[in-house]
Amino acid sequence: MPPMSTETDSAALGRLYPDHLREIQTRHERALERAGASHAVIFAGAPRTVFLDDYNYPFKANPHFLSWVPLRANPWSLVVCTPGKRPLLVYFQEKDYWHSPPSDPTGFWTGEFDIRIVHTVEDIAEQLPAEKDKCILIGEVQNDTQAFGIERINPKSALNILHRARGIKTEYEVACMRAASRRGARGHAAAEAAFRARATEFDIHLAYCRATQHTERDLPYSNIIALNEHAAVLHYQHQSTQRPDAQLSFLIDAGARTNGYACDITRTHSFDNAEFAALIRRFDALQLSLVSEVRAGVNFPELHLTTHRKIAELLVEIDLAKGSPEALIESGVTNAFYPHGLGHLLGLQVHDMGGFMADDEGTIIDPPSGHPYLRLTRNLEENQVLTIEPGLYVIDLLLADLAGTPGEKMINRSRVDWLRPFGGMRIEDNVRVTANGCENLTRDAFAAI
């Protein structure tokens, strides 16, 4: 099926948005009841100034604010939630000749709000409830000015409810993430084409941004564009302008946004090495076998541990290591080749809140012993959206840690030397949990384009 047009997306989102807003308001009303307050003031945030400069860092809106309105570039704006009343949007539109001020609010969502446009920071407080002692403020506050006279800021009792609930997506949110996935898939296709044309990491990054129609400010996180051995750096942060001597492999971990909601997709490619290409196909089958296990009720830490068993079996199959799966796991060999978690919740933030929360009172579920980087420990529930992203890398720092242990003798150094120039691989899909399985947003997006 071809990707929906922007107009079709907007119309579909407009039909879904009212129900979404009612759910968001219900969550905030529950949070207010728990906190013993009458009004929730959700602050978009304010710009941060670079140290010893008059230039601001790129603005990142409070995700709680974004759950109400798709306004990612509107600092100083606020939403006020009062039970039994229409939500209020205080829309900050500074009169400024140094920068282009926000245009008047438009779009499918505007009819659901009482919108009041203000032009100065001093005007904001006049639009807020007069009884500041009955308010809570949700958002980042850097100084007293940004608190607007409200003393109760980010009470844990309220945040616990909101963070736990954010793990379950509304139909509107899932639709936004489907659209973000299609945008991301177009970027990945353009990036792979640039890789095949022997482009540099920097030029591949530019090709991705052009295809997604994102500037770097729009991206949900900094693109990981890793050629060859750079693929072994999990969060590789550079984009080299130099073409490598040999084009061997390409790992891209890059996302996109729609109305603030993100996709987070990783793919690995071989340039022309048939053996490495076959290994990627084998790893893709491993990743899909894990996706097939996703359904409501699954204990995610157990699925993560299953991944280590599958990685152990693969290491033996491709002659990177020898030994039983139990021995490879117990000795730390699988952790050396696969040191990160299987996945995380995804939504308004790439690593969305609430992944460790057993309930809405703040009870935390710790990751399994020896697996501190697992970001999701909850049982899976319908309409969670999460990533499934196993990896396998040659990370010499971690392999060196096995020196003098039983795991050292289990590793085939010659095969490690073969894999090292390729760096490694990661394949990441975004999936929505259903009662009996999952919807693979990523694979559907690639099929659509």
Fold category of 171-448 in CATH: Creatine Amidinohydrolase (3.90.230)
Radius of gyration of the chain (CA): 24
Same fold, 6-165 and 171-448: no
DSSP at 78: E
Express each pLDDT in 40-72 by its tens digit: 999 999 999 999 999 999 999 999 999 999 999
Question: Torsions phi, psi of 154, nearest 5?
Answer: 50, 55
Strands 385-388 and 39-43: unpaired
pLDDT of residue 213: 97
pLDDT of 82 higher than 90:
yes
Among 70, 71, 79, 95, smallest CA distance to 128 is for 79
pLDDT of 164 higher than 50:
yes
pLDDT of residue 399: 98
pLDDT of residue 19: 98
Neighbour-count burial for 180-219, b at 16+ CB within 10 Å, e otherwise: bbbbbbbbbbbbbebbeeebbbebbbbbbbebbebeeeeb
Question: Torsions phi, psi of 92, nearest 5?
Answer: -85, 120
Give the span between the Cα atoms of 129 and 30, in whole angstroms: 19
Strand residue runs (E) in 153-299: 224-227, 249-258, 261-270
pLDDT of residue 8: 53
Average of per-residue pLDDT across 177-188: 98
DSSP assignment of 23-48 equals HHHHHHHHHHHHHT-SEEEEE-----
Averaged confidence pLDDT in the chain:
96
DSSP at 100: P
**Measured between alpha carbons, how far apart are the two ends of the chain, in Å?**
8
pLDDT of 25 higher than 90:
yes
> What are the residue ranges spanned by the domains of the chain?
6-165, 171-448
Q: Classify residue 250 by burial, with Cβ atoms within 10 Å: 0-12, 13-18, 19+.
A: buried
Tokens of 17: 């948005």
3-state helix, strand, coil split of the chain in percent (to 5) is: 40, 15, 45
**Is there a contact between 61 and 78 (Cβ–Cβ < 8 Å)?**
no
Average of per-residue pLDDT across 421-436: 98
DSSP assignment of 299-321 equals BHHHHHHHHHHHHHHHHHHTTSB
pLDDT of residue 207: 98
pLDDT of 74 higher than 50:
yes
Give the span between the Cα atoms of 157 and 33, in whole angstroms: 10
pLDDT of 324 higher than 60:
yes
Which CATH number, 3.30.1300.10, 3.40.350.10, 3.40.50.10210, 2.40.50.140, labels domain 6-165? 3.40.350.10
Q: Could you tell me what percent of the chain has a pLDDT over 70?
A: 98
**Is there a contact between 263 and 183 (Cβ–Cβ < 8 Å)?**
yes
Q: How confident is the model at residue 5 (pLDDT cuts 50, 70, 90)?
A: very low
- 399 sits in which H/E element: helix 396-400
